[in-house]
Amino acid sequence: MGQQYSQPQPGKKFQVIGAGLPRSGTASFGRALEILLDGPVYHGGTQTTLGPEHEIKTWIRILKQWPARNEAASRVNLDLIKSRTQGFVAITDSPGCTVVSELMMLYPEAKVICTIRDIEAWEHSMSVVSSQSTQWFLRFVLFPVPSLRYFVDYIDALREQWLSLFGEAEPVTRKSYNQHIKWLRDNVPGDRLTFLDSNGQPYEVVAPDNRYVFVSSPKHIKELDHAPDTALSLQAASKQPMYTMQAFNWFDRRGTEGVGFIRALRTLLTNNLPQILPTLGSIIRIRFQEMHENHRVMQGTKHSPVYPMIVKLVVLSNAVSFFGEGLTKNGQFMESALEYIEQTLMCAEVIRLVPKWLALLKAQEVICNTLVPIAKQRCLEREMKKLDQDVPHHADCIQWIMETSPAHNPWSAKRVVHELMAIWFGSVNAVSTTITFAIHDICLHPEYNEPLLEELREGYHIFERPGLGLPLLDSFIKESARLTPVEAQSTRRAALRAFTFSDGTKVEVGDWACTPVRAIMQNPDFSPDPLAFNGFRFASSDALKHTNG
C-alpha cells in the first residue's frame, strides 16, 4: 500500500477488517498492519486509484448492486469482494469500511478494528475531499489517466451507497460518522470489535501523489521545525503547488540561490507600510464604493457578495504593493491576476494527477508576459545604477525582490517574475479567505461591532503610520482564523532524505511531514473551550481594560 499498488500474496490469511471511515487514519493503520501481520494490506483508496483498471471497475460493479436484492446477487458480490481481498492480511479505507457485513461473512475469524478521529476534524477533512472529488470537469481531465478515468463513476457509486446507509451524500456530516459507529456497535460481536484512536500520535495520509506524515504533539512539532533543511525542506514542499506556473523552479534547499522574498516581505514591505497605507486606503475605499453601487438592491438595501468582492479588493491592494499603482490601471492584467488565483485553486488538485501538458493556465501567461518586460527594465536600471547613472526610484515588491537577489548571481527578469507569482498566489488566497471568514464572524457575533469600531475610530490613524496597533481587531481576526483556517495542514516539509522522529515514525524521501493545524487549534488541550468563538481570546489584559473602561 502507501503510494504503490499492493500485490496479493497467495496463502496469506485475512485477519483484520478495517472499519474506519475514510480520513480517519486508515493509511497509517494499514501500514502498521503490514508490519504486524507481515503481509500486504488492501487500502481501498490506493488500490482503486493506482492499481490496474479491474480493481476500480470491480468495486463499481459491487457498489452498483449493493445492497444485494436477492441471494444470487449477494453471492455474486461476495465472490467479487473475495476476488479482490484474497491474498491480503487486511483491508482498510473505503469501500471496505462500508461492506463490513460481507467481509465478516467471508472471513469469520477476522477482527473488526475501527480507527476513530476527532469528529470536527473528520467532518472538515471530508468536506475538503468532497469538494475536490465532485468538480464537473473531472471526467474530462482524468480520461487520459488509467484507472482514474473511472473515478467519477466510482464516486457516483459510493455516493449512492452512502445515501442508502446514512441518508446523506456530499457534504457528509457527523450524522454519517455517528451512524456508522452505531451500526458497528449494534452488529459486530463485542469480542470481534475494537476501536482505535491515535491519541495525538503521528499518523499518515496517503494521497495519489504523495504520502503525508502528520505530527501534532509539541515535541514532534519542535523536531519538525528544527530538522535541518537538508532533510526536511520547506522550499521543496513549496515547489509542488506552483508547477502550474511557466517553467517555475525553486531549488530544494533554502538559501541555495538567495532568500530575497523573505527580506522583501518581512523587512522592506513592512518598513514601507507608512508610505503605502494612506494611498492604499484611498484606492480601496473608492473601489469599494464603485463595486457596492453596482450591486443589487433587496428590500431597500444594497447587498454585496462577500467573497467575490473581497478577493477583488485584495487583488487590487496587493497589486499596488507588489507591482506599483501603474499596473492596477491595466484591465487585462488585473483580470488575469484574479483569474490566476481562481484557476489555480480550481485545477491544482486535479493537475497533480494528469499529464504535464495539461498543467498550463492561460491567466499565468498574461501575468508573465506583462511583468517580464517591466522586470527587464528594472534589471537594466540595476546595471545602469552600477555605472552611477540616475535611475527612477521604485517602492514595490518587484524592486525589493530584485534588489535582495544574490549579489554574486543576480536573478534574471523571468526569475524575479516567478518569485512574484509564487508570493502572489499565497498572499491573495490566504488574505481574501481570512478576511471573508472574519466578515462572516462579525455578522454572526454582532456584540463585537461596537468595541471594534471604537478601536478603529480612536486608533486607525496611529495604525496607519507604523502599521502596528489595533490589538482587538488583530485578536478578532486571529480567533476567526483559528476556527476557520485557510488550510487544514501547515508546517509543510518535503523529505530530501529519510528522517526519523523520536518515536520511530519515519518520513521517507519524497514524503511530506506536516501538522494538522485545524485539529490542533481546535484541541481542548491547547485552547480552552476550543469550539466557542471568543473574539478577544488573543487580546492582552491592557487592551481589554481600555475597552471596558
Q: Are residues 153 and 267 in the same domain?
A: no
User: What's the gap between Cα 280 and its chain centre?
Assistant: 30
Distances (CA, A) of 527 to 29, 353, 542: 28, 37, 21
Residues 295 and 428 in one domain: yes
- pLDDT tier, 261 (very low <50, low <70, confident <90, very high otherwise): low
Q: How confident is the model at residue 142 (pLDDT cuts 50, 70, 90)?
A: confident
Q: CATH number of the domain at 141, please.
A: 3.40.50.300
One domain for residues 305 and 403:
yes
Task: Decide: 224 and 491 in contact? Cβ < 8 Å.
Answer: yes
Q: Judge whether residue 91 has pLDDT over 60.
A: yes
Residue 404 lies in a domain: yes
Would you say residue 283 lies in a domain? Answer: yes
Q: Using one digit for the tens of pLDDT, what is the confidence trace for 168-211?
A: 887 789 999 999 999 999 999 988 999 887 667 787 776 656 78
Average pLDDT, the chain: 82
**Residues 269, 187 share a domain:** no
* Residues sharing a CB contact under 8 Å with residue 169, sequence separation 6 or more, in sequence order: 159, 162, 163
> 471 — phi, psi (to 5°)?
-65, -30
Question: What domain range includes position 45?
Answer: 16-194
260 and 146 both lie in a single domain: no
Report if residue 507 sits inside a domain: no
Report the C-alpha gap between 467 and 169 in whole angstroms. Answer: 46
Asked whether the predicted pLDDT for residue 398 surpasses 80, the reply is no
* pLDDT band with cut points at 50, 70 and 90 for residue 255: very low
Tell me which amino acid residue 282 is: S
- pLDDT confidence of residue 242: 47
What's the pLDDT at 10? 94
Assigned C-alpha cell, 61: 460493479
Question: Do 31 and 204 touch, CB atoms closer than 8 A?
Answer: yes
On whether both 188 and 65 belong to a single domain, the answer is: yes
8 Å CB contact between 328 and 320: yes
- Provide mean pLDDT across the span 295-301: 86
* pTM metric for this prediction: 0.61
Let me know whether 347 and 426 are in one domain. Answer: yes
pLDDT at 354 over 90: no
Interacting residues of 149 by C-beta distance below 8 A, sequence separation 6+: 142, 143
Of 151-160, 282-291, 317-326, the one with minimum mean pLDDT is: 317-326
Higher pLDDT, 330 or 240: 330
Does residue 238 fall inside a structural domain? no
Quick: pLDDT tens for 16-50: 999 999 988 788 788 888 888 989 999 998 999 88
Last residue of a domain, one of 444, 466, 500: 444
The pLDDT tens digits for 356-376 are 544 445 555 666 677 788 888
Question: Which residue is associated with the grid cell 519538525?
Answer: 224
Among 426, 444, 462, the domain-final residue is 444
User: What is the distance between the alpha carbons of residues 315 and 284, in angstroms, rounded to a whole number?
Assistant: 10
Rounded Cα gap, residues 549 and 547, in angstroms? 5
The single-letter code of the amino acid at 132 is Q
Give the separation between CA 237 and CA 494, rounded to whole angstroms: 5
Q: Do 8 and 88 contact (CB within 8 A), yes or no?
A: yes
Residues 158 and 275 in one domain: no
Number of compact structural domains in the chain: 2
Q: What is the mean pLDDT of residues 294-320?
A: 87
- Res 1 pLDDT > 70: no
Q: Is residue 201 part of a domain?
A: no
Same domain (yes/no): 156, 259: no
CA 109 to CA 311: how far, in whole Å? 56
Domain's final residue, options 444, 470, 503:
444
Q: Report the pLDDT averaged over residues 122-145.
A: 71
The pLDDT tens digits of the residues spanning 433-483 come to 899 999 999 999 999 999 999 999 998 888 877 667 899 999 999 999 999
Residue 506 forms part of a structural domain: no
